[in-house]
Chain A
Amino acid sequence: MIVFDGVEKRFGDNVVLSDLDFTVAPGEHVTLIGPSGSGKTTILRLLMCLESVTEGTIRVAGRYLSHMEKGGRLVPADEKHSREVRKRIGMVFQQFNLFPNMTVRGNLIEAPTRVLGLSKDEANARAEELLEMVGLRERIDEHPSRLSGGQQQRVAIARALAMQPRVLLLDEVTSALDPELVAGVLALLKRIGETTDITILCVTHEMGFARDFSDRVMMFDGGQVIEDAAPAQLFAAPEHPRTKEFLKAVLERP
């Protein structure tokens, strides 16, 4: 579903990702862990076309994301091409990023009507169904500012799902939440993981969640994958010394 092939990302002289190859299978749940600045979030931002690669290519569902084919050659993708491929990739942000000028309903129907061309009725039905699932059906006509952080994040998850994504990117989605609100959001994500076949790429510091939720965990350090294994194995018997060190630091956090 997702193929990174020799990807490099540099900001000036600062190499954030170097010669990165990995593949994520359809429906797979992959968690990216690693110290901050190790390049995990950059991967999500590349997939979202919020950044572009400096070397290599990215393919999603068989189509080039970072590039497009033009006259038999690969050229950097233009905005139209990126938008087309990205349509089926959803992202949930650490800071929710709901649109404060719209109601919850507005947030959920904006992109389905404007981008996917759904009718207002179809989009509304979809919005109500998703809000039912995240437990916020009765808040549909309120503005996001009236909701708690956890509720806003659940709306943001519903907003991403309203686009019926084949790939969902989760960028530290519980990091900005008060501790007592984290469990509700994680439970919702688990339910989504169990009941859909969406491919999920997740950056998180919640190791318990990573263990239960993912099929695979990739440990990043210095812009490269230094360990890539099933969670049971990686958490129980990490091989790389940097992984051991990182897990120790994270798990012993007060």
Chain B
Amino acid sequence: MTVGWDWAYAIEILPALWQGLQVTLLATALGSLLAFALGLVFAVIRRSRVPVLDPIVRGFVELWRSTPLLVQAYLIYAVLPGVGITLSSLTAGVIALGLHYACYTSEVYRAGIDAVPRGQWEAASALSLPRHRVWLGVVLPQAVPRVLPALGNYVISMFKEVPLLLAIGLVEVITVANQITAQTFRPVEPLTMAGILFLLISYPASVLVRRLERRVGVI
């Protein structure tokens, strides 16, 4: 193994790393969408105390938050085929990210929902609005904008956790860096460049989230 820094080599591997990063970004985007949607469903079920579903969701969230993403991803990818469900690395990875982060986003949504004044619920109920309109017309339009910054922070941390999915064979940026290393026996440049790519995306994203926080006010 050679140490030292070779600029020509570092630049040369960028296109390959960029390919990998696109997979990382895709997994983050799809995983976030799933986490946003599922977290919202979880939060509404918990907050309206839907019989049967409420304890199930609560149990699931407790269990899932207490176990590592890596184990969950592995279960989804390697154990589900045993019951006849075979998923690609990307699909399994997105489901793992979505389920894992839904447990966190559901708590975020819950905080947002609880921050809607009680008078809003009472006014909606005094007008006899049907339940779905209370949620979709009154409560969520007030709750969701306030929690966008918190959701944004989870997107950023999800982005940085995607490399864990190399364990289930997802060819994301760190996998690509490892593949390059295996051919060249020079690990410093690929991993450093991958790290820099993460930084170039995460840092501006967190600046954006902070700006959003200032605009909507933090919970």
Contacts and interface: CB of A to CB of B under 8 A. Distances in A.
Interface of A: 48-50, 83, 86-87, 89-91, 93, 95, 97-102, 110-111, 114-115, 159-160, 163
A86 B138 contact: no
13 contacts: A48-B125, A49-B125, A83-B128, A91-B126, A93-B122, A93-B126, A97-B123, A99-B120, A99-B123, A99-B137, A101-B142, A111-B128, A114-B129
Contacts of B81: none
Contacts of A100: 142
B119 A115 contact: no
Given A114-B130, A114-B133, A97 B125 contact: no
A83 B131 CA distance: 11
B121 to A, nearest CB: 9
Interface of B: 117, 119-120, 122-130, 133, 137-138, 141-142
A159 B126 CA distance: 11
A116 to B, nearest CB: 9
Given A100-B142, A101-B142, 9 more contacts: A50-B122, A83-B128, A97-B117, A99-B120, A101-B138, A110-B137, A111-B127, A114-B133, A115-B130
Contacts of A49: 125
- Most chain B CB neighbours (cut-off 10 Å) among A90, A95, A98: A95
A163 B142 contact: no
B168 to A, nearest CB: 42
Nearest to B144: A101
A83 B129 CA distance: 8
10 closest residue pairs by CB, A with B? A97-B123, A111-B127, A97-B119, A101-B141, A91-B126, A83-B128, A115-B128, A87-B128, A95-B119, A114-B133
Contact of B128 (A86, A93, A98): A86
Nearest to B123: A97
A50 B125 contact: yes
B79 to A, nearest CB: 42
A40 B20 CA distance: 67
A110 B130 CA distance: 11
Contacts of A163: 127-128
Contacts of A93: 119, 122-123, 126
A155 to B, nearest CB: 12
A99 B128 contact: no
Nearest to A169: B126
A15 B87 CA distance: 60
A163 B119 CA distance: 19
A134 to B, nearest CB: 17
A133 B61 CA distance: 52
A110 B127 contact: yes
Contacts of B122: 48, 50, 93, 97
A120 to B, nearest CB: 15
B198 to A, nearest CB: 37
A11 to B, nearest CB: 16
A110 B141 CA distance: 14
Contacts of B133: 110, 114
Contacts of B124: 99
A52 to B, nearest CB: 13
A1 to B, nearest CB: 18
Contacts of A95: 117, 119
Contact of B129 (A48, A50, A111): A111
- Most chain B CB neighbours (cut-off 10 Å) among A89, A97, A110, A114: A97
Contacts of A50: 122, 125-126
B133 to A, nearest CB: 5
Contacts of A98: 123
A231 B138 CA distance: 39
Nearest to A94: B119
Contacts of A99: 120, 123-124, 137-138, 142
A107 to B, nearest CB: 9
A110 B129 CA distance: 8
A219 to B, nearest CB: 26
